[in-house]
Structure 1
Amino acid sequence: MSEVKVYAHRGASGYALENTWKSFQKACNFGVGIELDVQITKDGVIVVFHDDNVKRLSGKDARIEEVDYDFLKELKIGKKWRRSFVHHKIPLAYEVFQWAKEKKVPLNIEMKSSFLHHPNGTKILCAMLDGLHDVHLSSFHPQLLKEIKKTKPSVETALILKKKFSLEEVIGMDWVDSLHLHKRLYSSQLIDQLQQTGKKIRVYGMVGSEAAIKKPDSCLVGVITDYPDRIKEKLRPAVER
């Protein structure tokens, strides 16, 4: 069976605020890869943030695709965390990528929908990938992955599957190298079907108690989780424990 790599979802978001330097550093300490989300501003600056609108974590009602970076750079984000409230800043993607390159941290970079509204978004992102140790780009939007593959053919692209998808369409997407699916979709029957595509498979949403962790399928190459330390321990061969 191939090695199953562990990726910390939005950084180690089970232990620190998602997509922040604290969550990334925590994941690095666990010795795992990092899954993070990227958005692009109106003026073409790529930042690390999950939501299309910053309201959930900042209280300000603004869509990232509609504002310039000057609006975001001083914005404080946070939420109540274990009886306390800590403010963070939205990280610049370039700075996170440089840090990951120095630390040799594998990255799973998810492109969010703001990239659909910027004519040069995927090209700007591709220009920032040089020198990264181990990276793949994922998205729910196959057209973004197609643009990435056209600009940078060597980079791995991963389609995040929605609940209802066409296997025939997925097989025909020769610009997609791997598939990501939520654990709610995971089943032996579906895995058998997905193997027909010849693409790699990663699963997200795992917490450590799932059957897919106890006995991983041979085609599974990655797990994306809020609790990377748990998953890493579960996947460690019994002879090493």
Structure 2
Amino acid sequence: MKAIPVFAHRGASNSCLENTFAAFKKAQSMGADGIELDIQISKDGILVVFHDLDLKRLAGKRRNVSDCSFKELQSYKLGKRFTRRFFGHSIESFQTVLDWANEQQMPLNIELKQSLLMNEAAFRQFLVAMQVPKNSHFSSFHERLLRIVKEVRPEMETAYIITKKFDWTTIKKPSFFDTIHAHKRYYKRHYLNNCEEAAMGIRFYGIVGNEPFLKNPHPAVKGWITDFPDKVQKAQLN
């Protein structure tokens, strides 16, 4: 059986600081088939690679990403509290990471975060000319952002990240998503059969590499999202 593509969650985030070039390059060296990353937007309309709405956890600053200019964001060092001043990483623009991914032909799972709703015009403008590696796609918890992608770039794959409120009957008539992304707790036969009947693919996140279903996945599965890309690849092949 052909192995299911493995996307490294925020890069190899168990080994390196999340959403940094160090994490992305480490994931590549571990054999990841693609990289999942998160996109926020700065005050001046620059898309940046960062997960949280604010800078407190990774930069120690009580500031929202969307309240800072890109220049200001780049001045902050990211990492653990007592080491980031000297060994910290910088916030990267999405364009910089995208250039690298295109050069490496590394597929991206681009998760669109809430702050993008604060500057839809800048997001739309970026989408118009954007080129992504083959087999890349957009994902989000926010329906509005996926609808924007479909309006501007209808050929792009979109994936809806579901919650417990999700109505599984809607997969038979989706209007803004092509694929479902779900936590591995939803790896249940009735959900998977619903996807298969609707010809709807599904990717699962929260995978660690010891799940029994990795060796014989349901036909509806089209991707794994994990902090441990090397372990998941190994589990699929053994």
Decide: shared fold, TM above 0.5.
yes
Q: C-alpha root-mean-square deviation of aligned residues, in Å?
A: 2.0
Question: Do the aligned partners of 1:138 and 1:158 also contact (CA within 8 Å) in 2?
Answer: yes
Question: Do the aligned partners of 2:38 and 2:111 also contact (CA within 8 Å) in 1?
Answer: yes
**Can you list the C-alpha shifts for 1:77-101, whole angstroms capped at 9, x where unaligned?**
101699xx83110111101000011
Consecutive unaligned residues in structure 2, runs of 5 or more = none
- Report deviation, 1:116: 1.3
- Which residue does the alignment assign to 1:119? 120
Looking at structure 1, the residues matched to 73 and 3 of structure 2 have their Cα atoms a distance apart, in angstroms, of 39
Looking at structure 2, the residues matched to 9 and 88 of structure 1 have their Cα atoms a distance apart, in angstroms, of 18
State the SS of the aligned residue for 2:24: helix
Greater mean deviation of Cα atoms: 59-68 or 104-113: 59-68
For residues 13-24 of structure 1, the aligned pairs below 5 Å read 13-24=13-24
- Which residue does the alignment assign to 2:219? 218
Looking at structure 1, the residues matched to 132 and 211 of structure 2 have their Cα atoms a distance apart, in angstroms, of 35
**Can you list the C-alpha shifts for 1:169-216, whole angstroms capped at 9, x where unaligned?**
443322211100001222112212233432211000000111221321
- Which residue does the alignment assign to 1:30? 30
- Which residue does the alignment assign to 2:184? 183
Question: Do the aligned partners of 2:47 and 2:95 also contact (CA within 8 Å) in 1?
Answer: yes
What's the TM-score once normalised by structure 1's chain length? 0.91
Looking at structure 2, the residues matched to 120 and 106 of structure 1 have their Cα atoms a distance apart, in angstroms, of 25
Q: Percent identity?
A: 39
**Which amino acid in structure 1 is aligned with residue 119 of structure 2?**
H
State the SS of the aligned residue for 1:88: coil
- Which residue does the alignment assign to 1:4? 4
Greater mean deviation of Cα atoms: 103-112 or 209-218: 209-218
- Which residue does the alignment assign to 1:147? 148
Consecutive unaligned residues in structure 1, runs of 5 or more = none
For residues 44-59 of structure 1, the aligned pairs below 5 Å read 44-59=45-60
What's the TM-score once normalised by structure 2's chain length? 0.92
Question: Do the aligned partners of 1:8 and 1:226 also contact (CA within 8 Å) in 2?
Answer: yes
- Which residue does the alignment assign to 1:104? 105
Greater mean deviation of Cα atoms: 63-72 or 37-46: 63-72
Question: Do the aligned partners of 2:39 and 2:94 also contact (CA within 8 Å) in 1?
Answer: yes
Looking at structure 1, the residues matched to 137 and 27 of structure 2 have their Cα atoms a distance apart, in angstroms, of 17
- Which residue does the alignment assign to 1:73? 74
**Can you list the C-alpha shifts for 1:2-34, whole angstroms capped at 9, x where unaligned?**
651000000000111100110001011123210
When residues 167 and 121 of structure 1 are mapped into structure 2, their CA distance, relative to the original with a 3 A threshold, is farther
Looking at structure 2, the residues matched to 60 and 80 of structure 1 have their Cα atoms a distance apart, in angstroms, of 11
- Report deviation, 1:124: 3.4
Alignment length, in residue pairs? Answer: 235
Flag as ranges the 4+ runs of structure 1 deviating above 2 A.
131-134, 168-175, 193-198
Greater mean deviation of Cα atoms: 125-134 or 146-155: 125-134
Determine if the alignment matches structure 1 residue 168 to structure 2 residue 158. no
Looking at structure 1, the residues matched to 81 and 75 of structure 2 have their Cα atoms a distance apart, in angstroms, of 20
Greater mean deviation of Cα atoms: 128-137 or 67-76: 128-137
**Which amino acid in structure 1 is aligned with residue 17 of structure 2?**
L
Question: Do the aligned partners of 1:19 and 1:37 also contact (CA within 8 Å) in 2?
Answer: yes
Greater mean deviation of Cα atoms: 190-199 or 111-120: 190-199
**Which amino acid in structure 2 is aligned with residue 205 of structure 1?**
G
